[in-house]
């Protein structure tokens, strides 16, 4: 694409707390990492020069990683060169921002991801007048309103920071219309400030596949009934709901034990990291330890095979801004049973590509899983519809919508500069 003057030529993309080079599902890496990596790559393919700035945590192979033509990841020294708990990262925002001050003038626009990066973006907007586009990914006030019982409450500092970012950004991008409404309702965003930019899915990696072949490759019995969970192991993602639902299925029909399997793929994450250690004992306590298999998170090529092995993918999250796992699973032709919350309402079409469950009652989840597992023809129908539905989401489409948001931000910034300049001239 020939980038016109209506669009930025050089973009500083900020992802302070997690690198687009990190493996999703490990630590704090997740859908946000995939989003940043894919959008940055697609924008670079369109001719923009994109530099992604992330904190140097000591895991990068080099200070500057040339990912592709026009795309680099730069690792910024801030705090110790090692892991830092996410709750301690706000203290590092000033140092991170200061490090970018000397290079900020080389860019036309800042695109920040998550509130910590948004605070960096605000600093660069103030000091260099750079237009700011911000993507929340998740919001404190929304998460606190839907967190599981006993779950960690997002701090007031985060909610305050998010409010400041909303007040200062030229454009906010939201995954769905519902998220756009949350920005207006919970943070006072102006409706004309928000652009809806649906995420995509890597359709080259995730696509309809042969279940029998995949089961042979991974040593899974052909007659198994496989429920799959993929994601970070934390209360918000609620893999325990699937363990309880599987236990309910076996209570109702003990004969299922010969065939039923629940595969949980993911790694511990966040301040609740210790919680992951409760899941295996929970499975044993409920009498399903022999049915549940725990695996660490895998590279996407291996993850693709596990989607292919499954009969149904469960996404029992308490909150999701969109639900990338649901989209990846459907791209592989797998029906999804998901909680009827947030972006999952858009990622999964109820009774067409999967089923949505109201709440987290294990009996309700057992009912929905059984509907898919016990009706092969319906499972095939849902899977075919799921693949067609997911095929409409591509990262190229996401990048195109992001580019339009950039154009809007530049126009807003120009109007602001004109008004400020005119007011200054009148004041003289």
Q: In terms of domains, do 249 and 103 share one?
A: no
**pLDDT (tens digit per residue) in 245-259:** 999 999 999 999 999
Q: In terms of domains, do 188 and 219 share one?
A: no
What CATH number is given to the structural domain containing 65? 3.40.50.2000
Whether 2 maps to a domain, the answer reads: no
Whether 3 maps to a domain, the answer reads: no
Considering only CA atoms, which of 178, 43, 52 is closest in space to residue 114? 52
Q: In terms of domains, do 65 and 168 share one?
A: yes
Whether 328 maps to a domain, the answer reads: yes
Confidence at residue 299, expressed as pLDDT on a 0 to 100 scale: 85
The model's confidence at residue 103, banded by pLDDT at 50, 70 and 90, is very high
pTM for this model (two decimals): 0.86
Element (H, E) at 387: helix 376-390
Whether 4 maps to a domain, the answer reads: no
Considering only CA atoms, which of 31, 29, 24 is closest in space to residue 324? 31
Q: In terms of domains, do 111 and 234 share one?
A: no
Average pLDDT in the chain: 92
Whether 227 maps to a domain, the answer reads: yes
Percent of the chain at pLDDT above 90? 81
- Look at residue 5 and tell me whether its pLDDT is greater than 60: no
Q: In terms of domains, do 155 and 15 share one?
A: yes
Per DSSP, helices labelled H in 319-361 are 324-331, 344-347
- Cα dihedral across residues 85, 183, 415, 422: positive or negative: negative
Q: In terms of domains, do 55 and 188 share one?
A: yes
Query: In the predicted model, what is the mean pLDDT of residues 11-21?
Result: 95
Residue 91 exposed, middle or buried by CB count within 10 Å (0-12, 13-18, 19+):
exposed
Whether 137 maps to a domain, the answer reads: yes
Confidence at residue 365, expressed as pLDDT on a 0 to 100 scale: 98
Provide the domain limits for residue 238.
211-390
**pLDDT (tens digit per residue) in 183-192:** 999 999 999 9
**pLDDT (tens digit per residue) in 50-99:** 999 999 999 888 999 999 999 999 999 999 999 898 889 999 999 999 99
Q: Rounded CA gap, 17 and 138, in Å?
A: 14
Element (H, E) at 135: strand 132-135
**pLDDT (tens digit per residue) in 259-317:** 999 999 998 876 777 899 999 999 999 999 999 999 998 888 899 999 999 999 999 99
- How many CB atoms are located within 10 Å of the residue 314 CB? 32
Q: In terms of domains, do 185 and 236 share one?
A: no
Residue 58 φ/ψ, nearest 5 degrees:
90, 0
**pLDDT (tens digit per residue) in 201-213:** 999 999 999 999 9
**pLDDT (tens digit per residue) in 373-406:** 999 999 999 999 999 999 999 999 999 999 999 9
- Cα dihedral across residues 48, 53, 75, 201: positive or negative: negative
Question: For residue 93, what are its two tokens?
Answer: 């925002």
The model's confidence at residue 148, banded by pLDDT at 50, 70 and 90, is confident
Q: In terms of domains, do 58 and 98 share one?
A: yes
Element (H, E) at 227: strand 225-230
Q: Rounded CA gap, 343 and 181, in Å?
A: 12
Considering only CA atoms, which of 184, 381, 268 is closest in space to residue 279? 268
Q: In terms of domains, do 16 and 54 share one?
A: yes
Confidence at residue 274, expressed as pLDDT on a 0 to 100 scale: 84
How many domains is the chain partitioned into structurally?
2
**pLDDT (tens digit per residue) in 317-365:** 998 888 899 999 999 999 999 999 988 999 999 999 999 999 999 999 9
Confidence at residue 342, expressed as pLDDT on a 0 to 100 scale: 86
Q: In terms of domains, do 195 and 280 share one?
A: no
Whether 412 maps to a domain, the answer reads: yes
Q: In terms of domains, do 313 and 414 share one?
A: no
Q: In terms of domains, do 244 and 296 share one?
A: yes
Confirm if 304 and 206 have CB atoms less than 8 A apart.
yes
Whether 206 maps to a domain, the answer reads: no
Q: Are strands 49-55 and 10-14 parallel, antiparallel or unpaired?
A: parallel
- Cα dihedral across residues 362, 338, 202, 267: positive or negative: negative
DSSP state letters, 78-120: -S-SS---GGGGGGGHHHHHHHHHTTGGG-SEEEEEHHHHHHH
């Amino acid at each position: 694409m020939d980038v016109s003057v209506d669009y930025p030529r050089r973009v500083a993309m900020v992802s302070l707390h997690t690198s687009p080079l990190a493996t999703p599902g490990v630590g704090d890496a997740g859908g946000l990492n995939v989003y940043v990596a894919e959008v940055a790559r697609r924008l670079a393919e369109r001719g923009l020069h994109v530099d992604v700035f992330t904190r140097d945590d000591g895991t990068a192979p080099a200070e500057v990683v040339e990912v592709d033509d026009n795309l680099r990841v730069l690792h910024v020294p801030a705090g110790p060169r090692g892991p830092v708990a996410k709750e301690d990262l706000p203290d590092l925002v000033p140092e991170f921002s200061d490090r970018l001050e000397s290079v900020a003038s080389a860019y036309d626009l800042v695109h920040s991801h998550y509130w910590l990066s948004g605070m960096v973006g605000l600093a660069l907007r103030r000091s260099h007048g750079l237009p700011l586009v911000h993507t929340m990914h998740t919001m404190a006030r929304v998460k606190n309103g839907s967190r599981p019982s006993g779950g960690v409450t997002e701090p007031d500092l985060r909610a305050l920071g998010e409010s400041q970012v909303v007040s200062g950004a030229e454009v906010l991008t939201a995954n769905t219309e519902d998220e756009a409404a949350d920005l207006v309702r919970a943070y006072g965003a102006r409706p004309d400030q928000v652009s809806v930019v649906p995420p995509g899915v890597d359709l080259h990696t995730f696509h309809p596949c042969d279940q029998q072949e995949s089961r042979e490759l991974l040593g899974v019995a052909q007659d198994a009934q496989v429920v799959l969970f993929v994601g970070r192991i934390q209360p918000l993602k609620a893999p325990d709901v699937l363990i309880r639902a599987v236990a309910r299925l076996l209570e109702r029909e003990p004969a299922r034990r010969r065939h039923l399997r629940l595969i949980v793929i993911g790694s511990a994450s966040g301040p609740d990291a210790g919680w992951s250690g409760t899941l295996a004992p929970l499975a044993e306590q409920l009498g399903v330890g022999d049915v549940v298999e725990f695996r660490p998170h895998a590279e996407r090529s291996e993850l693709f095979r596990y989607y292919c092995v499954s009969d149904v993918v469960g996404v029992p999250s308490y909150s999701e801004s969109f639900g990338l796992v649901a989209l990846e699973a459907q791209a592989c032709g797998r029906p999804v049973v998901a909680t009827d919350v947030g972006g999952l309402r858009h990622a999964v079409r109820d009774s067409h590509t999967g089923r949505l469950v109201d709440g987290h009652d294990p009996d309700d989840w057992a009912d929905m899983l059984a509907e898919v597992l016990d009706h092969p023809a319906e499972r095939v129908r849902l899977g075919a519809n799921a693949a067609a539905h997911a095929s409409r989401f591509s990262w190229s489409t996401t990048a195109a919508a992001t580019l339009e948001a950039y154009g809007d931000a530049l126009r807003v910034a120009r109007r602001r500069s004109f008004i400020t300049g005119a007011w200054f001239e009148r004041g003289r």
